[in-house]
Amino acid sequence: MSVLQVILNSIIRASELALLSLGLTIVYDILKFANFAHTEYAVVGAYFAFILNVTLGLPIFFSAILAAIATGIFAILIDRVVFKKMRNANGIIVMVTSLGVAIALRNTVRAIWGASPKSYNVPLQAPIVTKYFRITPLQIWIIAVGAAAMVAFYILLHYTRLGKAMRAASDNPDLAQASGIATEKIVTAVWFIAISFASLGGILIGMETYLLPYMGFAIIIPVFCAAIMGGLGNPYGAMLGALVLGFAENFGLYINFGKLFNLGGLLHITHRALFIPTGYKPAISFVILIVVLLLRPRGILGKKEER
Amino acid sequence: MKILEAKNIVAGYSKTEILHGVSIYLEEKEVITIIGPNGAGKSTLMKAVMGYVSIYSGTVTWKGEDVTHLKPYEKVTRGFGYVPQLGNVFPSLTVLENLEMGGYTRPKPEVRDKIDKAFQLFPILKEKMGKKAGTLSGGQRQMLGMARALMTDPELIMLDEPSAGLSPKASEEVFMTIADIHKRLERSIMIIEQDAYQSLNISDRGYVLVMGQNEFEDKAEKILTNQKIKEAYLGG
């Protein structure tokens, strides 16, 4: 595998992770709790798209957009029923509640669609193959959607009234109220944006592999890792964290640590090639998470506590 | 005409009662100062009037309307303006964005117009318009806090210890600005102060609050010359 291919794979992975970790971090920022149900919403979105695409026969493009919107609304409804009652509760209590919501969502999905893998009805497309890399049209889409979502989010935050109000509410919720910003409206908008983006991420992952009720649980560690690495609550941190993690996961498996130990031939510590076994890929995000928490508990970009 | 009247306010945080029946009022275009020792409940009173602190009993009346249990953002649309003591700006937003947020409830052309006016009133803010509010000095932050609150053209401006943490010179500037705002815009202003000379100097009336209760109230110049009050609350 060429280096270029590894870079491409890293960017694809980062795009998927960014779509998910961005929402996790903004929900944390405004609502002050770590939402363990976040990736489960992505699964719900992926299965919503499955209904539209496979059951109803809509093209995947429209299915994905409609499912993302529907899941955003679904998240607002769950908020009204569950989280709204806990606005003034301690973040730990809300976090545990979100764990309950996660279990409920995961098992509801399994009860409806079963535990066997499902796939979208997507026309098979030939990959683009060159001397150095190979990429499928879907993977190009993943990168494009990821990048577009990040740009859209930047524009939202800095150039729209809603986005500025979101930043204001994040900075100083009391003062935001004193400026006439109704906090609940911001909360509603944050849920919608966070969960729509997460759904797009879930759908793209489902398109690249397949749909499983447990896929949310499988991806929760890397998503939290990316968000925490960049500084929980900081949207640009979450993007950066996703990028770092995407590269770490792919280069972690690509690098021959045997050569590294021998300093590229200067030393002769080992004669064997040493690679991290593929099965340990999920462990990479764990290890990075632990190292970040030890060295920079507030993350690389860390959110400043200014008063 | 009384613009604001708070009657027998009993309020506090969850189970800790801090105000035990405080009453104050404000006439239209009047400036009042509330003084009192630390922990007297001055800030709590202002927060209760604004709607941040739950009021157990008593009423807040705004131009004849009962607004006791309205949320802060609902009071903003009624004409309340509030500059808290801590966190009086949005630190990660630029000065300009802070002002835009102040005008959140207002239509865009009006906001633009108000920003121009704010820059006339606070020329320093125009210079710093693209800078993040977190980089401003304490005095500049206080100016920005007031400018932000003025964006909605409030009929009542509540200032919680505007001189807190400022150098004597900066604090003097802040009070000159407040007097200037009052002269130009003719609004009602309520000020909380610990170091109250400057504040009472620009006020019509004053209240002394002790242990969550009204201790004393009078015309500002009379409080300033009252020997007992002077000794007890104005540091001699």
> Per-residue pLDDT tens for B152-207?
999 999 999 999 888 999 999 999 999 999 998 899 999 998 768 889 999 999 99
**pLDDT confidence bin for A154, thresholds 50/70/90:** very high
Q: What is the mean pLDDT of residues A248-265?
A: 80
B63's tokens: 């131009």
- The predicted pLDDT at position A19 comes to 96
- The predicted pLDDT at position A302 comes to 66
List C-alpha distances in Å: B206 to A123, B21, B35, B171, B233.
78, 18, 7, 19, 12
Q: Find the closest chain A residue to B157 by CA distance.
A: A178
- The predicted pLDDT at position A305 comes to 47
A175·B88 Cβ contact <8 A: yes
Question: Do B90 and A175 meet the contact criterion of CB atoms below 8 Å apart?
Answer: yes
Nearest to B53 by CA among B203, B195, B160, B153: B160
The DSSP code sequence of chain B is: -EEEEEEEEEEEETTEEEEEEEEEEEETT-EEEEE--TTSSHHHHHHHHHTSSEEEEEEEEETTEE-TT--HHHHHHHTEEEE-SS--S-TTSBHHHHHHHHTTTS-HHHHHHHHHHHHHH-HHHHHTTTSBGGGS-HHHHHHHHHHHHHTT--SEEEEE-TTTT--HHHHHHHHHHHHHHHHHH--EEEEE-SS-HHHHHT-SEEEEEETTEEEEEEEHHHHHH-HHHHHHHS--
Q: Find the closest chain B residue to A170 by CA distance.
A: B90
- The predicted pLDDT at position B1 comes to 82
Q: What is the mean pLDDT of residues A108-132?
A: 92
- The predicted pLDDT at position A123 comes to 84
- Residues of B in Cβ contact (< 8 Å) with A165: 101, 104
Size of interface A-B (CB pairs under 8 A): 80
Question: Do A31 and A195 meet the contact criterion of CB atoms below 8 Å apart?
Answer: no
Q: Which residue has the higher pLDDT, A10 or A274?
A: A10
pLDDT score of A284 more than 70? yes
Q: Find the closest chain B residue to A179 by CA distance.
A: B102
pLDDT score of B134 more than 80? yes
Select the residue from B104, B150, B151, B157 to test the A interface by mutation, using most A Cβ atoms within 10 A: B104
User: What would the pLDDT profile of A37-68 be if each residue is shown by its tens digit?
Assistant: 999 999 999 999 999 999 999 999 999 999 99
Q: Find the closest chain A residue to B77 by CA distance.
A: A180
Q: Which amino acid is at B102?
A: G
A155's tokens: 């524009």
- The predicted pLDDT at position A276 comes to 84
User: What would the pLDDT profile of B111-127 be if each residue is shown by its tens digit?
Assistant: 999 999 999 989 999 99
Q: What is the distance between the terminal CA atoms of chain B, rounded to a whole angstrom?
A: 35
pLDDT score of A253 more than 60? yes
pLDDT score of A261 more than 80? no
Q: What's the CATH number where B229 sits?
A: 3.40.50.300
Please, which residues 60-99 of chain B have a Cβ atom closer than 8 Å to chain A? 71-73, 76-77, 81-84, 86-93, 97
Nearest to A97 by CA among A78, A73, A76: A78
- The predicted pLDDT at position B235 comes to 66
A196's tokens: 């729509």
- The predicted pLDDT at position A306 comes to 40
pLDDT score of B236 more than 70? no
Of B72, B86, B101, the CB nearest to A165: B101
Q: Name the residue range of residue B44's domain.
A: 2-233
User: What would the pLDDT profile of B47-106 be if each residue is shown by its tens digit?
Assistant: 999 999 989 999 999 999 999 999 999 999 999 999 999 889 999 999 999 999 999 999
Counting the structural domains of chain B, the total is 1
A183·B87 Cβ contact <8 A: no
- Residues of B in Cβ contact (< 8 Å) with A177: 52, 71-73, 76
